[in-house]
Amino acid sequence: MCYVCSKGVAHGNNVSHANNKTRRTWKPNLQVARIVVEGKTVKIKVCTRCLNAGKIQRAPRKAVAAV
């Protein structure tokens, strides 16, 4: 499930040329993204449509201290 839009798996039928029907699923393109929620960085699953639309703000990477 997408964290933003709640998009999930869709179900339907494969239909052959002979009109035979078998069950199949369509899965959303989910990616793992790190976001900041209430000051803490958490990993969530977000669909690519929400990522491209900018509906979430990714967490910044940890800065490496210069030695």
Task: Kindly report the backbone phi and psi dihedral angles of residue 35, in degrees, each rounded to the nearest multiple of 5, phi listed first.
Answer: -130, 165
Does the residue 4 lie in any domain? no
Is residue 60 in a domain? no
* 39, part of any domain: yes
pTM value is 0.75
Whether residue 49 contacts residue 33, with contact meaning beta carbons closer than 8 Å, is answered with no
Q: Are strands 21-26 and 10-15 parallel, antiparallel or unpaired?
A: antiparallel
**pLDDT score recorded for residue 61:** 84
In a domain, 59, yes or no: no
Helix (H, G, I), strand (E, B) or coil at 41: strand
| Predicted confidence (pLDDT) per residue in 39-56, tens digit | 889 999 999 999 999 999
18 domain-assigned: yes
Residue-range definition of the domain harbouring residue 39: 10-53
Question: How many folded domains does the chain comprise?
Answer: 1
